[in-house]
Amino acid sequence: MTSMLRSLCRSGRRLTVVPDRRQYRIDPLGGASVRDVTPREPTPRRALARCLVRMLPETTNQVANNAMTKGDVLAAARIAGIQAAKRAAEMIPMCHPVLVGNVTVNFSFGDDFVEVETHVETVDRTGVEMEALTACTIAALTIYDMCKSQDRTMTIEKVALWEKSGGRSGPWRRAEGED
């Protein structure tokens, strides 16, 4: 027993030993730990995420026509999304850093919303779902930031993973209407 364990036992703190650590991201003392992915072989991984930025129809029109006073909203949001995908592991504590091979950030418009869609691809030992969700969310926040002076009613909604492929669990796709 290490000196740290002995001192914890003497302090009267209750220790919980997790029987099968591999199943959880918890160390023997109950603290958070990162899952070991080094034994895995790198395989192609892909993830797609989407969200909506709801806004007034006039704001949607200005964004679509590149007429916002702060500049090109979609270009800034695209760059922000790409940067965010590459830095997801720095913001999410249990997220493994991956070598992001490709990121695309696309936009589509409705009368009162901008839909953000992100695709992230890699060949690595773990998936890129968090990178796709981070890219999507940061792109949406950038749209919000650049439009907030003209539209305080905006909301960011329905942030969700829509597809993933690769890895042990294989492909997955959200059913249409399951948002």
Q: Please provide the DSSP assignment of 19-65 as one string.
A: S-GGGSSB-TTS-B-----TTSPPEEEEEEEEEEEE--HHHHHHHHT
Is the confidence at residue 24, as pLDDT, over 60? no
Using 50, 70 and 90 to split pLDDT, how confident is the model at 18?
very low
Q: Which domains does the chain have, with CATH numbers?
A: 1-33 (no CATH), 43-173 (3.30.70.640)
Give the model's confidence band at 3: pLDDT under 50 very low, under 70 low, under 90 confident, else very high: low
Digit-coded pLDDT (tens) for 113-130: 999 999 999 998 888 999
Least confident of 32-46, 60-74, 86-100, 130-144: 32-46
Q: What is the DSSP letter of 96?
A: P
Structure tokens at 5: 């364990």
Tokens for 38, please give them. 């080094």
Query: What is d(CA 169, CA 150) in angstroms, rounded to the nearest whole number?
Result: 44
Q: Work out the number of other CB atoms within 10 angstroms of the CB of residue 143.
A: 27
Q: What is the DSSP letter of 98?
A: -
What average pLDDT does range 39-51 have in this prediction? 89
| Residue 145 is among the residues annotated as catalytic for this protein | yes
Q: What is the pTM for the complete model shown?
A: 0.80
Q: What average pLDDT score do residues 34-63 get?
A: 89
Higher pLDDT, 27 or 1: 27
Is residue 91 pLDDT above 50, yes or no?
yes
Q: What angle do CA 3, 7, 8 make, to 5 degrees?
A: 115
- Active-site annotation holder among 111, 112, 145, 179: 145
Quickly tell me which residue has 């997955």 as its tokens: 172
Inform me whether the pLDDT recorded for 106 exceeds 80: yes
Q: In 3-state terms, the chain is what percent helix, strand and coil (to 5)? A: 30, 25, 40
Q: Is the pLDDT of residue 36 over 80?
A: no
